[in-house]
Structure 1
Amino acid sequence: MSERFIGRTAVITGGSRGIGKAIAEQLASEKAAVAVLDINEDALKACEEDFKSKGYDIIVKKADVTLSAEVNKAVEEIVEHFGQIDILVNNAGVIRDNLLFKMEDADWDMVMNVHLKGSFNMTRAVQSHMVKQKYGRIINISSTSALGNRGQVNYSAAKAGLQGFTKTLAIELGRYGITANSVAPGFIETDMTKATAERIGITFEQLIEASVSAIPVGRSGKPEDIANAVAFFADEKSSFVSGQVLYVAGGPKN
Structure 2
Amino acid sequence: MQRYAGKNVLISGGGSGIGHAICLRLAAEGANIILIDKDLKEGQSVEQELKLQNTKVLFVQADITSEADVEKVHKEATLFFGTIDVLVNNAGAAFAENYAMTTLENWNQDIALNLTGHYMLTRLFLPDMEAQGKGAITNISSVNGAQSFGNPAYSAAKAGVISFTQTLAIEYGPKGIRANVVLPGTIETPVWQTRKDSRPEVFELVKGWYPVGRVGRPEDIAA
TM-score, scaled to structure 1:
0.84
> Which position in structure 1 is the counterpart of 2:37?
38
Which residue identity lines up with residue 202 of structure 1 in the other structure?
Answer: R
The RMSD of aligned alpha carbons is: 1.3
Which residue identity lines up with residue 120 of structure 2 in the other structure?
Answer: N
Q: Deviations over 1:92-151 (max 9, x none)?
A: 101112321221111111010001110000000110110111111100001111133343
Q: Give the alignment of 1:49-198 within 5 angstroms.
A: 49-197=48-196
> Which position in structure 1 is the counterpart of 2:47?
48
> Which position in structure 2 is the counterpart of 1:202?
199
**2:132 & 2:14 partners in 1: Cα distance?**
25
Which residue identity lines up with residue 78 of structure 1 in the other structure?
Answer: A
**1:208 & 1:190 partners in 2: Cα distance?**
13
Which segments of 5 or more consecutive residues in structure 2 lack a partner in the other structure? none
Which residue identity lines up with residue 86 of structure 1 in the other structure?
Answer: D
Which residue identity lines up with residue 209 of structure 1 in the other structure?
Answer: E
**2:96 & 2:150 partners in 1: Cα distance?**
6
> Which position in structure 2 is the counterpart of 1:227?
222
The Cα shift of 1:194 comes to: 2.4
**1:184 & 1:98 partners in 2: Cα distance?**
19
The Cα shift of 1:7 comes to: 1.5
Give the secondary structure class of the aligned counterpart of 1:75: helix
Which residue identity lines up with residue 115 of structure 2 in the other structure?
Answer: L
Which residue identity lines up with residue 221 of structure 1 in the other structure?
Answer: G
**2:196 & 2:94 partners in 1: Cα distance?**
12
**Poorly superposed stretches of 4+, deviation over 6 Å:** none
Which residue identity lines up with residue 208 of structure 1 in the other structure?
Answer: F
Contact 1:116 1:161 in 2 (8 A): yes
Which residue identity lines up with residue 90 of structure 1 in the other structure?
Answer: N
1:213 aligns with one of 189, 208, 215: 208
Contact 1:99 1:150 in 2 (8 A): no
CA pair 91-45 structure 1, distance change in 2 beyond 3 A: same
> Which position in structure 2 is the counterpart of 1:238?
none
Percent of matched pairs sharing the same residue: 38
Q: Deviations over 1:131-177 (max 9, x none)?
A: 11111110000111113334311111111110000000111111221
> Which position in structure 2 is the counterpart of 1:19?
18
Size of the alignment, in residue pairs? 223
The Cα shift of 1:69 comes to: 2.1
Which segments of 5 or more consecutive residues in structure 1 lack a partner in the other structure? 229-254
Which residue identity lines up with residue 40 of structure 2 in the other structure?
Answer: E
